[in-house]
Amino acid sequence: MAKTRSTKRPLYRVHSGVHMLIKWERELKDKTGRTLDEWCSVLKKQCKGGDRAARSTFLKDEHGIGSNSASWLADRSLGDLHPWDSTEEGYLARCPELVDTQFAGGKAHLRPVGDALLDLCRACGADVGISPCETIIPAYRNHVFAQVAAPNRKFVRFSLALKGEKFTKRLVDTGGTAKKDRLTHRVDIATLDEIDDTVKKALMRAYAADA
């Protein structure tokens, strides 16, 4: 009997930051005259013992490298890798670890809440992608419309992009409106019972607004 291809939906989607750094590395030689490995070699020879700040300053002052590229090159030369500094496959392989770490130790009891919220995000539509970072877990459609985080041991913070909606006792201001961030409202959730219709309907509104 012929095997059928699995149509199981992946749990995670490659973060846009991964694509950005892949593009940056690919274009580095054309823009700066050296490849990533060549720049790392220069830094190791000319900035022996130099920390991140010293190496970044050297690149900016001596070679005219932009701030973001200088910081990334300094990190790479020191062997410090951001989760996004990877291939697509490498990032996806790290995603479970990135989520596990955020709910480790004293936050382990919050993991069911975090998982339930992420499942609700995925259930909004087939076009939703979950792209974990080190301290937050954003959900994307065209843009980020929801975000899960565990800032402490007491609750999971669920943030939503609800620009223009009023704040309530439950859905409070993230400060995003004043800072012109996408995520404007948040609700802190300690137990599964607190994921009620208010939360679910607000999530669906955030998803629909990003059509």
How confident is the model at residue 83, as a pLDDT?
A: 55
The answer, yes or no, to whether residue 159 has pLDDT greater than 50, is yes
Model confidence over 82-94: pLDDT tens digits? 655 668 888 898 8
Distance CA 129, CA 189 (A): 22
Model confidence over 89-143: pLDDT tens digits? 888 988 999 999 999 999 999 999 999 999 999 999 999 999 999 999 999 999 9
Alpha helix positions (H), 79-210: 88-102, 111-123, 176-179, 197-209
- % of the chain surpassing 70 pLDDT: 93
Contacts of 62 (CB under 8 A, 6+ apart): none
Distance CA 184, CA 178 (A): 9
Name which residue leads in pLDDT, 21 or 80. 21
- % of the chain surpassing 90 pLDDT: 68
How confident is the model at residue 25, as a pLDDT?
A: 85
The answer, yes or no, to whether residue 4 has pLDDT greater than 80, is no
